[in-house]
Amino acid sequence: MMRANSISKDYDGFLALDNVSFDLEDSGIFGIVGHNGAGKTTLLKIMAGLIAPSSGELTAGDIDVIKNPDALKQNLGYLPEESRLYETMTVEGYLSFFGEIYNMTPESVKARSNELLHDLSLDAGGKKLGELSKGMKRKVAIARSLIHDPSYLVYDEPTSGLDPMTSRYISEFLRSMKSDKKKTILLSAHNLYQVEELCDRVMILQRGKEVAFGTMDELREQFGSVYYIVEFVTEDKDVIDSIIENYDLSAGIYSAKLDNVDTLNSLTAAVSSSGGRIRKIESHYPSLEEMLLKLGR
Ligand SMILES: Nc1ncnc2c1ncn2[C@@H]1O[C@H](COP(=O)(O)OP(=O)(O)OP(=O)(O)O)[C@@H](O)[C@H]1O
C-alpha cells in the first residue's frame, strides 16, 4: 500500500500541489488526470521519491519515502514523460547497464531482459536505440523501469504520442503487470478513454488540488447523472403526453432524452401496455472527458 497524506509542493512561492491525500492498494492501477499544469508530473515525481514534497507524509509499505527515498527506488520503476535513451547503445546493452545499477548479476539481467522483451513483444534485431521507432523506444523505457522487478510502477504518460495499436498493447501489458505480476501502478495520462478502461481508481487534479479520487462509478455519481435515450412507437399519443413533456416524433418514431430511471420505467410500461414497441434504450454515462470539461481549468 502506498499512502500519501496531505502532500503539498511549493515551487518558490507557487503552490503546485495543495494537500493531496490518498491510498493506493496493492495490485491496482491508479490514474491521475487533469489539465496541463494541474500537478500530475509533480505528484508522480514525489511518489517516486525523485523530489521531496514541501510538506506531508508518504509511505510505501513500511518505507517512509520522504526520509528514505533510496529504499523506495530499489522497489519502484519510474517512467518519465520523455525518457532520453543512450542512442548508440543496443537494447540489451542499455538494459544491462541499468541492471548493474541495481546490482544484478549479468546472468540475472540477461534472463530478465529476455523475459521483458518477450512480454513487450520487442525485437530490435540488434539495432541501436537511436534507430528505433518511437513505440519501440517507449517499450525499451518500460523494460528499463521493470528490470529490477519492482513492486511499484510510477508512469508519466506511458502511451503519449504512440499509435493506437502500440498504445493498446502497452495498456494490455500494464493490465497483465497488475493481474499476473501483482504490481501497483500509478500513471498519468491525457488519453482519458485509456484511463477509464484501465484504471481501478482515478484522481482528478485541478490546479494542484485533488478534486476527486474514486472508481469511475463514484466519479460519475459525483460529476453528473446518467441519462437515457429512448426510441419507441405507439398509436397512443395521450399516454405519452401524460408521462413526458419533451420528445421528438419523426417518421412515426418517438425519441426522448430522460434523466430519471423512474420516468423511463413508467414510459416503457405505458408504451408496452398501449400495444406499442420500444425500439431502443441507450444509457449515457458522463465520460472523464466530460467531467474535466465541466470542471474547466
Ligand atoms: N521545477 C519547477 N519549478 C517551478 N514550477 C514548476 C516546476 N515544475 C513544475 N512547475 C509548475 O507546477 C505546475 C504543475 O506542473 P506539472 O508539470 O506537475 O503539471 P502537469 O499536470 O504534469 O502538466 P502537463 O499535463 O502539462 O504535463 C505548473 O504550473 C508548472 O509550471
Question: What average pLDDT does the structure give for the chain?
Answer: 93
Range of the domain at 28: 2-222
Q: Are residues 210 and 268 in the same domain?
A: no
Which among 14, 35, 192, 195 is the best mutation to test ligand 1's pocket, defined by most ligand atoms within 8 Å of the CB? 14
Give tens-digit pLDDT for 26-38.
999 999 999 999 9
Looking up residue 281, the CATH number of its domain turns out to be 3.30.70
Q: Where among 222, 242, 267 does a domain terminate?
A: 222
- Residue 63 vs residues 53, 74, 79, 187, 258: alpha-carbon distances, Å: 16, 11, 21, 20, 51
Q: Are residues 155 and 50 in the same domain?
A: yes
Which among 40, 54, 79, 206 is the best mutation to test ligand 1's pocket, defined by most ligand atoms within 8 Å of the CB? 40
pTM score:
0.86
Do β-strands 227-233 and 55-60 pair in parallel, antiparallel, or remain unpaired? unpaired
- Pick the residue with more confidence: 12 or 221? 12
C-alpha cell at 250: 419523426
CA–CA distance, 173 with 168 (Å, rounded to integer): 8
Q: Are residues 191 and 261 in the same domain?
A: no
Name the domain count of the chain. 2
| Protein residue whose Cα sits closest to atom 12 of ligand 1 | 16
Looking up residue 177, the CATH number of its domain turns out to be 3.40.50.300
Q: Are residues 189 and 55 in the same domain?
A: yes
Q: Where among 175, 193, 222 does a domain terminate?
A: 222
Question: Does residue 39's CB lie within 6 angstroms of at least one atom of ligand 1?
Answer: yes
C-alpha cell at 214: 474514486
Give tens-digit pLDDT for 10-69.
999 999 999 999 999 999 999 999 999 999 999 999 999 999 999 999 999 999 999 999
Q: What is the pLDDT of residue 217?
A: 87
Q: Are residues 52 and 185 in the same domain?
A: yes
Q: Are residues 95 and 19 in the same domain?
A: yes
ipTM value greater than 0.90? yes
